[in-house]
Every structure is written in structure tokens, then in C-alpha cells.
Amino acid sequence: MQRRALPFLALALAGVLSAAPCAAQVRWDLAAAYPASNFHTENLMQFAKDVEAGTGGKLRITVHANASLFKANEIKRAVQGGQAPAGEILLPNFENENAVFGADGLPFLATSYADSRRLYEAQKPVLERLLGAQGLRLLYTVAWPPQGIYTKKEIASVADLRGIKWRAYSPATAKIAELIGAQPVTIQAAELSQAMATGAVESMMTSGSTGYDSKIYESIKYFYDTQAWLPKNAVIVSRKAFDALDKPAQDALLKAAAEAEARGWKLSAEKNEWYKKALADKGMKILPPPVKLNADLRQVGDVMLADWLRKAGPDGEAIIAAYRKSAPAGAAK
């Protein structure tokens, strides 16, 4: 009996061993809201390749671009609910859930890449704690290029925007519409091109990147380079999915995330000027904001910051205090 059992035992053991690599492989879907050609998505694709290489193929991430898996405003909940292990979200979109998410959507608080990075460092500990309490882990963030105003007509002040159909993609941009007397229309990036073509939207504040990707130049001819704020995309992962990885895979994932963050911020800054030139080449007029418009918008920013601080409470006060403390000597705080 023992002699006859040995071949079967050997076959069974061989089957287990041959199946082990497949069983160890993990596949993640990562939901993203922007086109495959957008620099954020390109960065995500490179991140996925780096993760696969760093884990020796044990973790493979498939990036689903252009809201093909979930719409932009559904991604965070999908990751929280386990419908997708990972996703990329625009943080200010979730300000109504918790004001901390909207720190980088405040007009004229942080208007350069250096300032935006300082704001991120001030915001990050609070953000990580908040996401952690929701069963999520922050992998990395990347800032969008500075936000400007797209409009079908020349403008000199916010009075020229009253009554206009204004794209609102976040609580902050909806609040701006309210304060300047525009009509807010909620349109996500994947639907923007059609909304512009049909006249559902006549003006908006967004980046040169979104303007170029959505072919805004086909419907709108003016871009005022207000450099009002630099909102951040965040790549998040389910804490449960992260904890299910072995330690080497976790380390490789975090290493790839750190590299994606550094690469993404650098790429955003490099692409900013490229996008504006590309828009100009398509016939769009790239203009500095008139003095009155700039002053009006800064007043809007002051109102929104005061309102945000009331909503954010001690966490908001800590973020702004840390941000202002980190300002270089002589810089405006």
C-alpha cells in the first residue's frame, strides 16, 4: 500500500507546486476618470508597470481610464465598498463629505507648484488619518496644472460672468458659481466635450490639461490664466486589499507609488506650459486676468477660505497654520 501511494503523493505534490505561482498572483482593477492620453493616466500606466516589475508579476494592476469602470464621483465609494481595489480621485470633489478633502480647491490659497506642494505636506497627515478611518490608504497624489477661466467672450470682471452657464465639477467650483452669480452645471470631465458642443456649458475654471483633452478650443476661444489653485488627484487603495499583500509586495507597491508621485508632479509642471501653447496653436487666446477680474476672484477666495475654516474646524486650522508656517521667508502667507 505504501509503494502504491507514493506515485499519487508525488503527483499531488507536483500539482500543488505548479499551481503555487498562479495562486500567489493578485490582480487589481484601478478605476480612473480621465482619458488614456491625459498625463495623470499615463503616470498611472507607468505606476502599474513598475508595480508588476517590482513584485515580479505577483501584483498586476489594470488601469481603467476615462470613467470606463466607474464615474469620477463614484470611484471613492467603489474602493471603500470593495467593488474595486484601487482608484484615482480628485480630492476637492469630496469636500461635502469632509472639508479636509477640499483644501487644495480653495482659490488663491496655493497658486504655484511650490505652494501646492507645501499645502500637500500640511494636509497629508490629516488626509491619511481621514482616509484610514474610511478603510482606505493613500498611495500618492499629483497636482493638476493651475486653474484658469475658459469663456466664450472677453471678460474684465466677475460681473461679466453673471448668469453664464458655469461648469461645476466640485463643491468649490459650485460655490464660486454661487458667489459670482453664474449658473452652476455639474459636468464631469468625460462628458465635458459634448457639454461644450451643445452649449450646456459656456464657461468654467479648469486646467490647460482638461481644456486640451476635452477639445474646449472647438467651442471656446478665451482662456484667462488666473492660476487660481492646483487641485490634486489622489491614488487610493482599499486597506483590506493592501493588507492582503505580503510584505515584499507592499514594499514594492509603496516604492512605485513614491516614484509615481515624484514623476507626476514633475510631469504636471512640465506639461503646464505645453498645454497652454497647444491651446494657443488651436486658435485659443491665452490671456492674463485683467486687474479687476483678479481682484474680484481674490475676494471670492477670501470668502471661501473663511467658510472652509468654519467647516473644517481644528483640522482645517492645523492645515492652514502648518502651510503658512512653512512659507519661505518674505513670501506672502
DSSP string covering 159-184, please?
GGGTT-EEEE-SHHHHHHHHHHT-EE
And the C-alpha cell for 117? 506642494
pLDDT at 188: 81
Q: How far is CA 19 from CA 12, 24, 324, in A?
A: 11, 9, 56
For residues 198 and 91, what is the distance between their CA atoms, to the nearest angstrom? 28
For residues 170 and 27, what is the distance between their CA atoms, to the nearest angstrom? 31
Q: In this structure, are residues 43 and 267 in contact, taking their beta carbons and an 8 Å threshold?
A: yes
pLDDT at 16: 41
Q: pLDDT (tens digit, 0 to 9) for every residue of the chain, 333 residues total?
A: 444 444 444 434 444 443 333 346 999 999 999 999 999 999 999 999 999 999 999 999 999 999 999 999 999 999 999 999 999 999 999 999 999 999 999 999 999 999 999 999 999 999 999 999 999 999 999 999 999 999 999 999 999 999 999 999 899 999 999 999 999 999 888 888 888 888 899 999 999 999 999 899 999 999 999 999 999 999 999 999 999 999 999 999 999 999 999 999 999 999 999 999 999 999 999 999 999 999 999 999 999 999 999 999 999 999 999 999 999 876 655
For residues 249 and 47, what is the distance between their CA atoms, to the nearest angstrom? 14
pTM: 0.88
And the C-alpha cell for 258? 513614491
